[in-house]
Structure 1
Amino acid sequence: MDDRPTPPISERPGKLELIATQKVGLNRELYKVIDFLNKNLKDYRLMFGLTKKDDKMIVSIYEVD
């Protein structure tokens, strides 16, 4: 077992920096677009997220360090 303390998340590789968010209406197929973007743009250090809040969906774009 490794007894070294875990570094703060800000110092860990793979840190996410939020670039932008956009609220859109509900769409059950939107997750397919997000999955497509994540698979095809990961080499550009971009990651996309999707969350549902009330009657809206929020698309988020992150830069991965």
Structure 2
Amino acid sequence: MKDKIETLSTVKLKHSTDIYKIVDSLNRTLKEDDLMFGLALDEDDHETAIFTIYRT
């Protein structure tokens, strides 16, 4: 069983109130392809979001 999560890509972008909807849709659609998507607010700049793609 594979327990490691691999980070494939990380990008910073301007925060938008609806961007979480895209991340949610990607997670629901592509989880069976062993992909997971994350979204976090930059700790130093709350106007910037960090979008990350993982392989699970």
Q: What TM-score, normalized to structure 1?
A: 0.75
2:26 alignment partner AA = L
Identity of aligned residues (%): 38
1:31 alignment partner AA = Y
Of residues 41, 46, 53, the one that matches 1:52 is 41
RMSD: 1.3
Post-superposition offset of 1:14:
3.6
Q: Which has more radius of gyration?
A: 1
1:28 counterpart residue number? 17
Q: What TM-score, normalized to structure 2?
A: 0.86
Structure 1: state its 5+ residue gaps: 1-11
Cα distance in 1, alignment partners of residues 28 and 4 from structure 2: 18
Post-superposition offset of 1:26:
1.1
Cα distance in 1, alignment partners of residues 3 and 48 from structure 2: 28
Structure 2: state its 5+ residue gaps: none
Cα distance in 2, alignment partners of residues 14 and 29 from structure 1: 31
> Which one scores higher on RCO, CA 8 angstroms, separation ≥ 6?
2
Cα distance in 1, alignment partners of residues 22 and 54 from structure 2: 15
